Structure 1
Amino acid sequence: MQKYSLGLFISIVAVSFASIFILSCQAPPLSIAFYRLLFTTILLLPVLLIRKKTRDEIRSLPRMTLLIMIVIGVILAAHFSLWITSLKMTSVASSVILVTAHPVLVAPVSFYFLKEKLSWINALGIAISLAGVGVLVIGNYGFSAFGLDTIEGNILALLGGVAAGLYILGGRKLRKTVSTVSYAFVVYTVGAITLFFICLSFDAPIINLAISDYSIILLMALVSGIFGHTLYNWSLGHIRASVMSVALLGEPIGSTFLAFVIPQIILVPWVAQIPSAFTIIGGTIILLGIYLTARTVKETDLLENV
């Protein structure tokens, strides 16, 4: 159990660095999103080349399964587009807290469309989280120091959370029959292709980015994508759901901490992000709601924000 707990801890730390990597890039948000998925897909290629079983599985995927995975890939592209854009428009704390609220968004959809049972604890968690969202989004409007929090950025983060919830719902049943690598490779590939065309549509550059930006995004794909999400999935099958639900709270806390501490370490304290009072109050309420919503769901409902 210790090695799985260690893997979970490492994955949460790795995912928490994603926001810092994104803020370190000068490239437009859509360009970052495109290369984030492209580089993660490329990093999975060696596994695909080594494992013939995985290649055979992808070739033999039923047409309907493949179609669903394509739709999920498009949703994943929407998630990264919305969330990464929100990080450029609002604070790290607000953005990551709102996008991490996907268990709250998944629960009612599962109840109505998948006919899954919704306990009173889940319902209470949803209500508490929605109240927290109201405090964070509306309370911060016009009151945030340095203009870090904007209502537009917070709404984009929330929509990114909706996309993350749809991504989880769409892939939940497929993950029971399709291996992790096969699923990730197809979905990431579709997401990267979708983002390529989104970049073209919005005139976001896909070539001639700064070398430093390419390096940072590649590092993000390795650290937050492979070590973060892969280790999270690995731990998922070996640790209780109640523990995983608490672990969900680690990313927004870790990201907020890093956004304040790292600028101090690299001697640029003036860019450190200090959460506003509304962010702290609303974020705490949301995290409590997420915990209550996620603590009783199945392990498969706790799939990561990619």
Structure 2
Amino acid sequence: MLAVSTSAILIRWSDAPPVVAAFYRVLFTTALVAPVALGRHADRLSALSGRDLLAAALTGVALSVHFAAWFESLSWTSVAASVTLVQSHPLFVAVGAWLVLDERVDGRTAVGVVVAVAGMAVMSLGDLLGGGVGAAPLYGNALAAVGGLMTAGYLLAGRSLRQRLPLFPYVAVVYGVAAACLLGFAVASGAPVRGYPAHEWLLFLAMAVGPGVFGHTVLNWALEHVESSLVSVSLLGEPLGSALLALVILSEVPSAATLLGGTVVLVGVAATARARSSGD
């Protein structure tokens, strides 16, 4: 959680366009995990079927949009609001599983979703009244919510593939597709992908090593060894950790609406994650 919580701070420290920072984070993370995937699981990678490759492509596309939207959101809203909303993905997973996979939604899950949505409404109302932190907090919050939605798509699209592939081949393929998409986004937007000073490259590498490898990749590994409910709820520590780091390092004080709404969102997300895990 400490590694994941540093992500927003590292992004804020970077002066590179958000989509470029996202591209290099994912590219460097891919470079770090690929040797293990190719060295230990080359046979599994070469045996991927067309269906598996399609699942990997969809998963990687969703992950790339998640990163592009979330990195951009941090340019417009507070760290606390952005990280809270991007961690709302259990809500979207619950709704997506109901709509796409025809999974049953029980009462506890429904209550969790309603509570979290109410928290989002509180945060948005505060921003509409001018109390938000950032250049355009409502816009930034919307981007962060899109990032959360795309995380849900990433989890749903990769569910079956993850069951058939070990961790490192899975993340190497998905990260690789995401990096290619982010490069396309950067080129299409006209953002320069070369010519950055040394400290920017160090920040890109830090994003890959910290939040990339010791954060999300370790969390993917943890799913094989502990209950998914524990992993899902532990992710809710990221908004708190990031907000505290932003307060201490960036002197960023979230608005009252963000604090109140964010707390309600996290309560709803935790209830949703626990309800879904206990029902599996």
The alignment's TM-score, normalised by the length of structure 1, stands at 0.87
CA RMSD across the alignment: 1.6
Q: Distance in 1 between matches of 2:184 and 2:232?
A: 35
Q: CA deviation at 1:238?
A: 2.6
The alignment's TM-score, normalised by the length of structure 2, stands at 0.95
2:269 equivalent to 1:290: yes
Kindly tell me the number of residue pairs found equivalent between the two proteins: 279
Q: CA deviation at 1:119?
A: 1.2
Q: Which amino acid aligns with 1:28?
A: P
2:242 equivalent to 1:255: yes
- Picking from 83, 89, 95, the partner of 1:108 is 95
2:143 equivalent to 1:164: no
Distance 1:60 1:207, change over 3 A: same
Which residue of structure 2 lines up, in the alignment, with residue 139 of structure 1? 126
2:185 equivalent to 1:198: yes
Q: Which amino acid aligns with 1:249?
A: L
Structure 1 gaps, min length 5: 1-11, 264-270, 302-306
CA contact (8 A) 1:141 1:149 kept: no
Q: CA deviation at 1:76?
A: 0.9
CA contact (8 A) 1:94 1:149 kept: no
Q: Distance in 1 between matches of 2:10 and 2:22?
A: 12
Q: Distance in 2 between matches of 1:163 and 1:124?
A: 22
- Picking from 6, 21, 31, the partner of 1:42 is 31
Which residue of structure 2 lines up, in the alignment, with residue 117 of structure 1? 104
- After superposition, residues 62-73 of structure 1 pair within 5 angstroms as 62-73=49-60
Q: Distance in 1 between matches of 2:128 and 2:209?
A: 35
Q: CA deviation at 1:146?
A: 5.6
Deviations along 1:68-112, whole A, 9 cap, x unmatched?
211211111111000000011110000000000000111011012
Identical counterparts, % of pairs: 41
CA contact (8 A) 2:4 2:238 kept: yes
Q: Distance in 1 between matches of 2:245 and 2:105?
A: 35
2:116 equivalent to 1:129: yes
Structure 2 gaps, min length 5: none
2:257 equivalent to 1:278: yes
- Picking from 56, 68, 80, the partner of 1:93 is 80
Q: Which amino acid aligns with 2:7?
A: A
Q: Which amino acid aligns with 2:80?
A: A
Q: Distance in 2 between matches of 1:204 and 1:190?
A: 19
Q: CA deviation at 1:147?
A: 3.6
Distance 1:41 1:147, change over 3 A: closer
CA contact (8 A) 2:167 2:221 kept: no
Paired residue secondary structure (2:276): coil
Q: CA deviation at 1:148?
A: 5.4
Q: Distance in 1 between matches of 2:228 and 2:184?
A: 38
Deviations along 1:241-285, whole A, 9 cap, x unmatched?
443343121011111011112x2xxxxxxx411111000010011
Q: Which amino acid aligns with 2:23?
A: F
Runs of 4 or more above 2 Å deviation: 141-149, 233-246, 296-299
Q: CA deviation at 1:200?
A: 0.8
Q: Distance in 2 between matches of 1:256 and 1:211?
A: 27
- Picking from 215, 222, 234, the partner of 1:228 is 215
Which residue of structure 2 lines up, in the alignment, with residue 266 of structure 1? none
More divergent stretch after superposition (96-105 vs 224-233): 224-233
Q: Which amino acid aligns with 2:253?
A: I
Q: CA deviation at 1:145?
A: 6.0
